[in-house]
Amino acid sequence: MLHFYSNDLKKKYLIIIIKMDFSEEEIQKILLKYKKSIQYNKDKYHNERKFDENFMEKNRVRAKDHYKRNKDQKLEYYKKNKEELNMKQRYRYYKKMDRMEKFQEKFPNDFKTLTDIGFI
């Protein structure tokens, strides 16, 4: 048996209880139902909820609380990955300016590292 739960717009999750012998038609029907529910929630937000002042105020408060609770975690993440983030940003800059040869000449270690991690 397969169940989909999406009761809250801010929490999108899927709980699957698997029965191993689904036919291809049943799988397609289940996936279509899931896609329709996602599209319904998306349309409801863009057509109704984002114009509701009460919802928007609650959403702003929730976002501010989330920022306050997770500020230290974000800071720690950026400190930990600072070098890699800077390499990626340099790569994007040189790619945007169409100077990839210059990037490879100027930062050969960065180019090798980015290739190794699968970014390029």
Task: Decide: pTM greater than 0.75.
Answer: no
In a domain, 57, yes or no: no
Three-state SS annotation for the chain: CCCCCCCECCECCCCCCCCCCCCHHHHHHHHHHHHHHHHHHHHHHHHCHHHCHHHHHHHHHHHHHHHHHHHHHHHHHHHHCHHHHHHHHHHHHHHHCCCHHHHHHHCHHHHHHHHHCCCC
In a domain, 5, yes or no: yes
Question: Average of pLDDT values for 2-15?
Answer: 51
Q: How many domains does the chain have?
A: 2
The model's pLDDT over 75-94, given as tens digits with 9 standing for 90+, comes to 999 999 999 999 999 999 99
Domain that holds residue 93: 82-116
